[in-house]
Amino acid sequence: MYYDMRQFPGYGPYHPIHTYSQHGYFPGQRNEMEHTESEGKKGHTHAHYGATSCNDGHTHLHPGVTSAPIETQEGHVHKIWGNTTFEDDHIHYYEAYTSPPVPLPNGYHIHFAEIKTTENDGHVHVIKGFTAASKS
C-alpha cells in the first residue's frame, strides 16, 4: 500500500533512505535499535504493500506491517522486513529501516523506504515507496 507522493502536493521524501546497510546492521545481527523494539516498545505501526521491481521477467508482492517506532536523533523510524510472495518458483527476503517521518495534513505521517531484496534465482528486486499513513 505504498502511496505516490503526488497525492500529497508539497510533500516529498524527507531525506535519503536509511537501510540497515547504511547503518552497518545486517539481517540477523542484533543491535541497539532491534533491542528497543524487541523489548515490547509500544506505538504506532504502518502497513506496506506493493510490487517489487520487475527483474528476470517477473515481480513479487510484499505485504506487511512495520515495527513499532524506533527513536533516532533524526526522528523515529520503523524496521520493515519480510518475505516477498512466491513467484517464478522462489521468494526474496527484505529488511531495512524507513526514513524519518514525512509529515502530512491532520497529524498523519508516512515513511519512505528503498530496499534491495536478497538474491535468489540469480537476481534481486528493489522495493521502493511510502508506507500507509498513520498518526503517532
pLDDT at 9: 37
b/e map of 87-110 (b: 16 or more CB within 10 Å)? beeebbebbbbbbbbbebeeeebb
**What is the predicted pLDDT for the residue at 25?**
35
* Phi/psi of residue 38, nearest 5 degrees: -75, -15
- What pLDDT is stored for residue 100 in this prediction? 97
Q: How far apart are CA 95 and CA 97, in angstroms?
A: 7
Cα distance between residue 84 and residue 124, in whole Å: 11
* Phi/psi of residue 5, nearest 5 degrees: -65, -10
Phi then psi for residue 10, to 5 deg, are 90, -5
Q: What is the pLDDT of residue 136?
A: 74
Residue closest to 94 by CA, chosen among 72, 76, 116, 111:
116
Residue 101's nearest CA partner among 51, 36, 32, 46 is: 46
Nearest alpha carbon to residue 3 among 114, 82, 126, 112: 112
Q: Rounded to an integer, what distance in angstroms lies between the CA atom of residue 112 and that of residue 56?
A: 25
Output the tens digit of pLDDT for each of the chain's 136 residues.
343 333 333 333 332 333 333 333 333 433 444 444 444 457 999 999 999 999 999 999 999 999 999 999 999 999 999 999 999 999 999 999 999 999 999 999 999 999 999 999 999 999 999 999 998 7
